[in-house]
Structure 1
Amino acid sequence: MNHVLIAEDCKIIRKGISAMIARCQVPINQIIECKNGLEALEIIRNMPIDVLITDIRMPDMDGITLVKELQKSQYIPRIVAISGYDDFSCAVDLLRCGAREYLLKPVKREELNSIMMKLEEEIQKEQSEKRAKRALCYSQIRRILLSENISREEMKEAERLNWFNEQTYSVVISSGTLNEVDETHIFTFPDVEGGQVTLMAEKELKDFITNRNSSSDYGVSDPFQGIFNLRKAYEEARQRRIRGFCMQEREGITSKNCLMPQNEMECFVQRIGTQKISKNETILLELADRVKKGEVEGLQFQDFMSHMIMRVREFYGRILAEEEISLEKLCHMLEFNNIDEYCTEIRRVFSCINERVLRENDDYKSRLKVEEALAYMNENYSRNINMAMVSNHVNMNYTVFSIAFKDYTGDNFVNYLRKIRMNEAKRLLAETDYKIGEIGQMTGYEDPKHFMKSFKWVAGITPSEFRKNLRVKDGITENITPKTKIVTF
């Protein structure tokens, strides 16, 4: 229970009742006290009171008059009447006017506690039913907002919930979410086509507009009544939201100039992954300018961008998945405050795709050049070659080649070349009778001592020992591989 109001002119009795309520078994957020009916009526008109405990006889406005006045209000609290024995006939009148319970003075703690528990149970049950009814109504209204083909029977079913109660409302479509959403708004839907849709009564609408920094980031319908006008109100607010989003100063824009031929859209999508993406940025800025000038309808622009994003998703799907680049936000144009913010996000996302594609293309070109370098090394290992010579052969910067070579092979250039030469030296030692010095020259070592030192560093034994070991076995050539273009270690 949130608020309990005690209306009693006798301070001692008022304080006593307040103390008993504070110690009763029902949790209460706030107990409010006043000394007559006029004060009580003013309090109830300004804040929701769950339970009113009122004396019958009070100055300025008695309890009976207070209860009768409350019958004119939209919200009536649960009323408990307090009286002396000589006021019993008045208490009966008060019960007829809407009081729920009756207590005789002096008020007994047990009786008051019992009444408060009973009323708390009623309040909880009512709130539970209200939440269930609101949830059902919420679901039906959301369906009405999102579908253009709602049958009249479905509309009547929603109307039977009687949530609107003939109150006047406006539909508000805004970007993002409101700072505070509570039941002062008739209904709030936080994610409809990327924006927030709120049904507001007149007072809440005035506060909303007053506190909004810009009129371009929301759209408001004219006032409507009844659920049958909900879709009309929504479409009106949506049109105004799109006009505000596009920063168009005048209404009634009907131009439907062609935004971009289909073949040009395909070129636009293709250019995202090239060095020519800057041309796309120019086209996008020009397009946004046409929309702002009213040369293009906002809805037409929205449909065009939806199709564009769909093609980007189809064309760059693998990269979007690998880089975890999401296009979801771009699908909801009205989530942004205006067209400039939207286009900025489009350029940012497309730039991320562009960077990944260009990087991947550079990696692919580097791999091709490294493979070309490996083929060259396998053909020319017998010559006095080095990394500078090979990098020049494949037209790569020396440093870039060094990094790309190690990324591809897992080894540096010197070690890899040595392994190629040693692999060939082992084959020659096993299959031929060439002298050790001759094999060294054939594998790129002019100095025999250098060859033998390198061989022992790789094989752990000298070339002569390697040859002798092979010749004491049968099938000495079964583990010797023929000359290959690329060596795998």
Structure 2
Amino acid sequence: MINLLIVDDQKHIRDGLQAMVRQFPLQPDSIYCAGNGIEALQLLRQNSIQLVITDIRMPDMDGLTLMAHAREEHITADYLIISGYGDFAYAQKAIELGAKGYLLKPVNREDLQASVEHVWQEIRTRQALSRNMEQLSRLARETDRKELSLYMQGSVSDEVWVGETEQQNAELWRSYRLCLLREERRINQPGASSAHSMESIAYRVYGSEGCICLQHRPHLILAVDASVPTDKLPAALKTAQIGATAVMTGPQQGLKALPCAYTEVQELYRHSYLFPELRCLLPENTAGLMQQWQLPHEELYALFRFIGADNDGKIAEGISMLFHKDVLQRYHIQYTDRLCRAVVQMLEEYEWVIRPYMGEDALDIESLRNLYDYPGIRDYIQALQQQMLRLNHFYYEFKCSYRNSQDLNEAIRFIHENYHKPLDLAMVSNHVSLNYAYFSNLFKKNVGKGFAEYLRDVRLDKARRLLAETEYKIVEITPLVGYESYKSFTRAFREVMGMQPTEYRQMIRRK
């Protein structure tokens, strides 16, 4: 039995969705309708409803709040989200709450049918799995999955527990692999599959005695019979049209090897980002990766030289070269991880320079800090390129804002050439032959900050480079960047950077 609930604050949309569903080959037993989340929650409390199609934005209670309340009340249902707003944040939150799909208005009949049928099949699979649970082995019924999972992740357990647990399925623990399934998710992709469907397929492939589920989230981890060919589970997932990448350790012997196997499978999971073309990643696929490397600093600097040059093509080309798969696949995943961090650090440095001129706009650098937050490395590179192009746009506009002012250009050039000398607003205004007050207003209006603040930032930018790239002592750097005393330099540095120059140098060297 499968019942359906349609939730939308617009009646004509509810009626339209209901009419579409009535035309599908698979028909629910009952279709309920609600005009907002409050009505929907009441229907979920009163009826057995397996699938909810809901709008996100509604008065009184929106779709995301509905899902959250239902989960708090332990009301079990699957959700398809429909919204007129193509907003990644909404989709991400919906998926975190367990949504099986995210569709945009106006809803396409074919996409809706594909989503409903996919979730329908998952519900039926889950129901069948639930009915068959009593037929599973004594191990599947009695093993405390949580305790076994904690042991896998490094929790200390006594020898008695290890021995008893191992004996409950001695055949499997004699020779097994750890298998992690990384589900492929895409925003707006109908009917994203769940760990329950993959788990049920794994039990069909390995049998109830040859498979134990150890973890559902954030990724499904299974202990599976090592004698079964490694390509059998990926093939079954492909046949079921479930997009997932499998990583499997080498054969393990004994339950005591489980914590080390967990470390190995996590390492393989990270390496799966380097080999998106492989549906099953094995230790032999990463055995030849080089462990020593040097980051391509010159290429990085060359890439960032295009910032502000209004040449998006060169930036995209530079990113493609830096992150070319033939290069990344030579090295341990740490190379890719460090390369990502180096690019993010340079993005931060460039953004810091023009942050005062960006107004309320800003780069989303936080979203780039962790490669593994993305479905795959291609998604990460696309997000990185988007932020690079935004930075390029900001820099180009910043440069254009005063490019037509020859006097201001000359003043800025003069500052950059003479920042290490005693310098004040009067000297610079005299250099460009402008009235003191007029030049002060012109400078602040076009540059976005006052002369003193700008000069301070130029000097501190040079100081940061000297701290990072030379062995000069702080007292030696002080006059090189235009400060008369050690005390005035360190005070200015601390006010801007929130740390002493020596602390900054130590931080950069650690990085």
Please classify the TM superposition score into its range, dividing by the shorter chain length. Answer: 0.3 to 0.5
**Structure number, greater radius of gyration:** 1
TM-score normalised by structure 2 residue count: 0.36
